[in-house]
Structure 1
Amino acid sequence: MERWFAYESGMSWCESQSDNKYKIVPFVAEFANTVSNLPLVLFPLLNVFQLWPYLSRVNPLAIWPHALLALNGMASAYYHATLSLFGQLMDELLLLHMINTCLIAYMPVLDRVVPPKLQAYHRHIRLAIVLLAREMAFPRRLI
């Protein structure tokens, strides 16, 4: 397990390319990328408090995408602070898990959200959402 934390990711972000690693704070590799994840942690949590009446009555599953987005913000901050393999895996795997959770949470209530004139295309809308999520999770090269 120690090798996961010792390995520094080979990904070159803008701060890494300009040789600014560990310059601002001695124990944070990419300071700006680390701090920029703070809204990713705070806004989903604030949104849960604002949406609480909806979440408690209509769709309690919808709390999970917000929680995973906040968790992803923490994982991304950890990754950019340490550039470790563990942080990189947590950052990327949480995104995939969040896409699947959004599908599970929002697909059941899609019937209530689709306007009446689009009800005939309801199956097509669901299929488009699933295919788009699949393509975002596992992109293919066209060339």
Structure 2
Amino acid sequence: MPSIFSYESAEVDWCENNFERSVLIAEYYNTISNVCFFALAPVLVYLNWQYCQQRALPMYLVSALLVCVGIFSTYFHMTLSYVGQLLDELSILWALAVAYSFWYPKVYFPRFIKSRKHFFWLCGVTTVISTLMSFVKPAFNAYALNCIAFHMLYLTWHELKKCNDKRVHRMAAVMVVWWVLAISSWLSDRWLCGLWQAVSFPYLHSFWHVLIAMALLYFCPLVIYFDVSYEMPSFKPMLKYWPSDSWPVVVPYIALEEPHKQC
């Protein structure tokens, strides 16, 4: 029986041909495309610095976990090991758990949850149980994690109905476009591998890494915008773009107006 740390011991093998470009890296492009996760975290922290000063813990924790996602995804695609597969999927699970714990709006809490502290415990217990269940059939984990995105999109739709800022609606629309492109790449690489190998282009999973990072680049400021509205009512969130609104390629971020003076 091969070691769980051995090369190609994972249950999942993506479409890219193994060891085609390196004797040490199983899936070359799927590995190097993870650089986008290493860039994503510092960009989010730098651009949303005003928010970080007010709500440092959630921003830094989520950013650190995004870096972990990049590290473990790199390890997984480099080795295609069973341990790498689990670490890759569990890092995403825990990043989502932390994001939900801090940023899930209180108005959507279940009725039996009375405080954010109780919600932390709910998320923690659920995540621990999900982590243990992940060892049963790791191949299903990725599908389950992608399904969480539908709940996030559902919440976003609900929040947008309360928001009159057209710029925020446009940002959400762009985020959805990036996400659709990303999930299409992921599914196509998984289900239509024979087709892509026939045309010598089995690299769509590496596109998934880049496209989902772009979706997160728009989704995180969207979450921050709504979090400021709920948790920091004395501040007014303002959507801005770096380096400038007039540039053809821009990155969104949230600036905060000074707190309103209390009478």
Question: TM-score, normalising length from structure 2?
Answer: 0.39
The aligned counterpart of 1:35 is 32
Structure 1 residue ranges without an equivalent (≥5) = 112-121
Question: What is the Cα deviation at residue 52 of structure 1?
Answer: 2.3
Matched, 1:87 2:84: yes
Whole-Å separation in 2 of the counterparts to 1:73 and 1:46: 14
Taking only the aligned residue pairs, the percentage that are identical comes to 28
Superimposed CA distance per residue, residues 82-122 of structure 1 (whole angstroms, 9 cap, x where no aligned partner)? 01111111001111111110011213xx46xxxxxxxxxx3
More strand by share: 2
Whole-Å separation in 1 of the counterparts to 2:35 and 2:146: 27
Task: Please tell me whether the aligned partners of residues 45 and 60 of structure 2 are also in contact (alpha carbons under 8 angstroms).
Answer: yes
Question: What is the Cα deviation at residue 138 of structure 1?
Answer: 9.4
Whole-Å separation in 2 of the counterparts to 1:37 and 1:81: 11
Whole-Å separation in 1 of the counterparts to 2:145 and 2:27: 26
Question: What is the Cα deviation at residue 61 of structure 1?
Answer: 1.8
Matched letter for residue 12 of structure 1: D
Q: How does 1:1-143 map to 2 (within 5 A)?
A: 3-6=3-6, 8-15=9-16, 20-107=17-104, 110=105, 122-123=107-108, 126=109, 136-137=144-145
The higher relative CO (CA closer than 8 Å, separation ≥ 6) is in 1
Whole-Å separation in 2 of the counterparts to 1:103 and 1:26: 40
More helix by share: 1
The aligned counterpart of 1:117 is none
Question: TM-score, normalising length from structure 1?
Answer: 0.68
Superimposed CA distance per residue, residues 6-36 of structure 1 (whole angstroms, 9 cap, x where no aligned partner)? 2621312111xxxx21121110000010011
Superimposed CA distance per residue, residues 17-76 of structure 1 (whole angstroms, 9 cap, x where no aligned partner)? xxx211211100000100111101211222112222211223532221111111101100
Where 1:21 maps in the other structure, the secondary structure is coil
Matched letter for residue 6 of structure 1: S
Matched letter for residue 10 of structure 1: E
Runs of 4+ in 1 over 6 A off after TM superposition: none
